Structure 1
Amino acid sequence: MKSIRAVGRRTAGLFLALSLVSVATGCGGDSSDAADGGPQKVRFGYIADYSGSVALAVAQKQGLWKKSGVTPELKVFTNGPLQVQALGSGSLDFGYLGPGALWLPASGRASIVSVNMLGLADRVIARPGSGIEKPADLKGKKVAVAEGTSGDMILDLALSEAGLKPDDVTKVAMDASTVVTAFSSGKVDAAATWYPLIDTMRKNVPGLKEISRTEDYYPKLTFPNVFVTQPKLASGNPELVKKVTGVLKQAGDWIAAHPEESESVAADFLKLPAGQLKGSTKYVKLLPSAELTKLSKDGTVDGWFDELAAMLRRMGKLPKPGKAEDYYLGDLYAEAGKADRS
């Protein structure tokens, strides 16, 4: 069963989307100073799941945009690559990317202005009776995975940890919802996927085993989702980018202080039943801005992105990645919002 908060989030990582699909964003607005001295307008993309929308939902509910002198025009997208395409065409100013799409900033197509939160939902799971107890046991087994997603990434990590190569397993590529069906029906031995889809699979396959988890690799490696902007906007109008990033920092701090309430705010923003996103914060690590600023200044966040870029290169998704210091605007993040907090 497709989940709007799971499938939408993970399809953000589809590596071929830029070349295969063209987008008509329908976005307008002007990100320069308003001629009459009024609010600055920005066009902001998001994905209709918890991680991809909650910061914007909170910013809207808490009146943070108005306080900052920015008027957002919000536009929903189905994945991250489409947003980067819109950034490149100039029809979008800011957007949201899941971890599977981080090859785009690493290849110079977007600048990261903020880490939103860290994903903790990904797993490699195995059917009971499959003989799989640890990553090394995956050798020779059939593994279902949605390619180009964070499920693909957690599988690569598990194989690498066990000293296995991708061709040591039979990788069965399919979309995320079909992974659920294939695993549940016993057509594969294992799957690389994520919660809440695993909740459905556990009902169908009691006793399934978690072989590899996102948390196993933290803090050296994480699966962050991020907010991005046009590189030319970051260099040409850094004050506007700081204003927007300041709003995102304030929203992030509110979310970290009110995690359960934030689930309801996001559901309301997305016009979903009040309880539909309940439990979403179990699968993310929320980072208050003070902590993220510290981790940005000491190089930890750059390290996260560099490690991910190395993995994506190993997977053949990123031929020549740049260094994180070139596309993560950590100094700008640290400075953003200071005037609003003084």
Structure 2
Amino acid sequence: MTSSAKPRRFAVPLRTAAFAFGALLAAALPGAAQTLVKVGVPVGTVPGLKAAIEEGYFQKENIAIQFVTLSGGPAIITATVGGSVDVGYADMFAWVGSLENGFDLVLLQPANGRGASDYIIAGPKSGIKTPQDLRGKKIGIAAHVQSKLRVTLYLERFGLKPSDVTLVTVAQRDTVGAALASGQIDAAIAPDPDVAQWEQQFKVYPLDGRPWQQVPEAATTAGFFVTKAWLAANPKVAEGFVRAARKGAARYNALSAEDKAKIVLKYDKLDFFELEKTTPGVLARLNDDIASQDGPIDLTATGEWLAIAQKYGLIKNTIDLKAHLYRTATEPKV
């Protein structure tokens, strides 16, 4: 087993405040009551749900979505179990960890595949030019174990081990750019659209190779999770949520870079059109943002991803996935 450096906490201002997106839509039918569904998400995620709101897919299901922004998978899992959100968007490893701790969350719908939008980026003061230059440096990772695994596999691809670097947990993703600019960390794993913004704002730059390339192609890396109690009380709402989420994911993946940029601008307040003026080509990178999954889980590929996590000691055991999936996660059509 490859040795793994133990991440140390990096003190950053915590902004896990829940905010309600006003994307609560009018009822699809006159007089029909909408069901409010609170969805726990990290900042800048779930573009498929945002596309579904824009296209009126949730409206047709008489569902109103309220996003509650939290710091990452573990916090979202906790909020889902505690009932402060109805549906939690979290990485698969956070979910497996919750099952190991006795929680009853089930996978409602796969949300993300391996994607093609994450990078290893270096700060302007780091002196890093190649992946091999990461030796002895501080690398920022997100507050979930999938981030650590992606960095570990990336390092190994370029002949390094986690023990060759210091892994620093940055709890708030939107503070990574400033931490790189100040030299508090030397490099970090991060996705677009954040990377695009920080390239202009903080002069960070991506290194060769991409972390997503080490993830099994058809694996589910994140999903939408609910408690069994919520599911028992809201089976029709759950089905409607999945139908709208799948349609939204398919729609977002098929959008042009320009139309994706409009969604990012509206929901994440990041203006790719302005960035394009100073960093030509950055808008086209949204064509790589196709991670949203619009169908059932691939059990084989996802099991392979969990086995890799177990190999590196990031989860204790692989699980019988089928025992923890609601039928909407496996059916081709809901």
TM-score by length of 2: 0.66
For residues 64 and 284 of structure 1, the distance between their equivalents in structure 2, rounded to whole angstroms, comes to: 21
Q: Which residue of 1 aligns with 2:266?
A: 268
| Match status 1:319 vs 2:312 | no
The Cα shift of 1:134 comes to 4.7
Aligned residue type for 2:259 = E
Please show how residues 69-148 of structure 1 align to structure 2 within 5 Å: 70-79=62-71, 80-98=73-91, 101-104=94-97, 107=100, 109-118=104-113, 119-125=115-121, 133-134=130-131, 138=134, 140-148=135-143
1:155 to 142, 151, 156: 151
Question: Identity of aligned pairs, percent?
Answer: 20
Q: Which residue of 2 aligns with 1:47?
A: 41
1:282-302 CA-to-partner distances (Å, cap 9, x unmatched) read 44224573xx34xx3xxxx22
* Closer/same/farther in 2, CA of residues 230 and 275 from structure 1, 3 Å limit: farther
The Cα shift of 1:254 comes to 2.2
| Match status 1:166 vs 2:158 | no
The Cα shift of 1:241 comes to 2.0
The Cα shift of 1:246 comes to 1.0
1:93-116 CA-to-partner distances (Å, cap 9, x unmatched) read 223225674545664552222223
Q: Which runs of 5+ in 1 are unaligned?
A: 1-14, 27-36, 338-342
For residues 24 and 142 of structure 1, the distance between their equivalents in structure 2, rounded to whole angstroms, comes to: 34
Aligned residue type for 2:148 = D
* Closer/same/farther in 2, CA of residues 88 and 25 from structure 1, 3 Å limit: farther
The Cα shift of 1:160 comes to 4.2
For residues 225 and 158 of structure 1, the distance between their equivalents in structure 2, rounded to whole angstroms, comes to: 19
**How many residues are matched?**
297
Please show how residues 131-280 of structure 1 align to structure 2 within 5 Å: 133-134=130-131, 138=134, 140-149=135-144, 151-161=147-157, 165-174=161-170, 176=173, 179-181=176-178, 183-184=180-181, 190-199=187-196, 202=199, 210-220=207-217, 224-234=221-231, 238-259=235-256, 260-265=258-263, 267-269=265-267, 275=273
After TM superposition, where is structure 1 displaced by more than 6 Å over at least 4 residues in a row? 20-26, 271-274
| Match status 1:285 vs 2:285 | no
Aligned residue type for 2:152 = D
CA RMSD in angstroms, aligned pairs only: 4.5
